[in-house]
Amino acid sequence: MTLRRAVFSLFNEPDVRRFGLVTEDEQLVEVPDFEASVPVSDTRYTLDSVFLHPPIPVTPSKMIAVGMNYPAHIDEMKHVNVPADPVLFMKSPSSLIGHGQSIQAAEAWGRVDYEGEIAVVIGARCKNVPESDALGVILGYTLANDVTARTLQRQDNQWGRAKNFDTFCPLGPFLRLSEGVDPQVFKITTTVDGTQVQEGWVSQIRFSIPFLIAYISSIMTLERGDVILTGTPHGVSALRHGQVVAVIVPEIGTLRNRFEVIPDASSLHRVREEASHGVS
């Protein structure tokens, strides 16, 4: 009962954040803080009776994402001259939403893609972590959707704008604590309206999770609650209004969000022209 954690609010108390242990039948038992193991009562909450927040103990100071980490995804996007070192970019904490919330984009932004990923949550402040010690600084693992305004990404020829619109980083539903977990065994799948569109194993990634933590922490100090998105497998594609995208790792859970095309958005973000080269 203590392997997975959640952050939730009751629908009648939306401003009160509670912390929960996830039972085997995916109900929640409230605990006094994110890492506590003793419930405050015997009350159980079903998932349809609560609002799930991103399952992290604090708002992250930063979210670091890794591009081009699955070889099959590199091939599908027709990348050439792939760098020998990890390709890093940032996701803004303001792009975070939880399980069940809607991803929102304007039609004027052009194509918007899903990218299912496994995310690592850092447990303590750290810098220059040796690869051999990297698993020890992980609080746990959760699921992410690195939503991307693909047309704008191609138009910009860089990734800052296209990856960071509000709602463009669903995270959840639960955090699987790292103790006793070998992330190499995780298999990730993504579905759209129930049809599988992505499949990959952590064992396939170019840069392992311990290497990524060592590499990133050699560049920047990692803080408790910071999130690392580890890359997406092949099979990315565009979303259409009303579709439901789900990212699944059985040991963690299923992150499910609906995609909505919103009626209006700033003219500052309209598509100018379609570029011909692929990006990730």
- How, if at all, do strands 195-201 and 187-192 pair? antiparallel
* 78, 232 Cβ separation under 8 angstroms: no
Q: What is the pLDDT of residue 276?
A: 36
Exposure on the CB side of residue 81, measured as CA atoms within 13 A: 1
Quote the CA–CA distance of 248 and 141 in Å, as a whole number: 12
Question: Which residues, at least 6 apart from 80, have a Cβ–Cβ distance to it below 8 Å?
Answer: none
For residues 19-33, average pLDDT: 95
Q: What is the pLDDT of residue 195?
A: 98
Residue 228: strand pairing partners: 64, 120
Q: Is the pLDDT of residue 264 over 90?
A: no
The answer to whether the bond into 173 is cis (omega within 30° of 0) is yes
Say what the pLDDT of residue 268 is. 73
Residue 187: how many other CB atoms lie within 10 Å = 16
pLDDT number for residue 79: 63
Confidence of residue 158 (pLDDT cuts 50, 70, 90): confident
Query: Which pLDDT score, from 0 to 100, does residue 176 have?
Result: 97
State what percent of residues in the chain have pLDDT above 90. 83
Residue with tokens 């405050």: 40
pTM of the model: 0.93
Rounded CA-CA distance 206/63 in Å is 20
Average pLDDT, the chain: 92
Residue 263 banded pLDDT, cuts 50, 70, 90: confident
- pLDDT at 211 (0 to 100): 97
Angle at the Cα of 22 (from 21 to 27), degrees rounded to 5? Answer: 120
Q: Which residues of 229-249 are buried (b: 16+ CB within 10 A; e: fewer)?
A: bbbbbbbbeebeeebebbbbb
Please report which confidence band the pLDDT of residue 50 belongs to, taking 50, 70 and 90 as the band edges.
very high
Cα radius of gyration rounded to whole Å, the chain = 18
Query: What is the model's pLDDT at position 273?
Result: 52
Residue 236: predicted pLDDT: 95
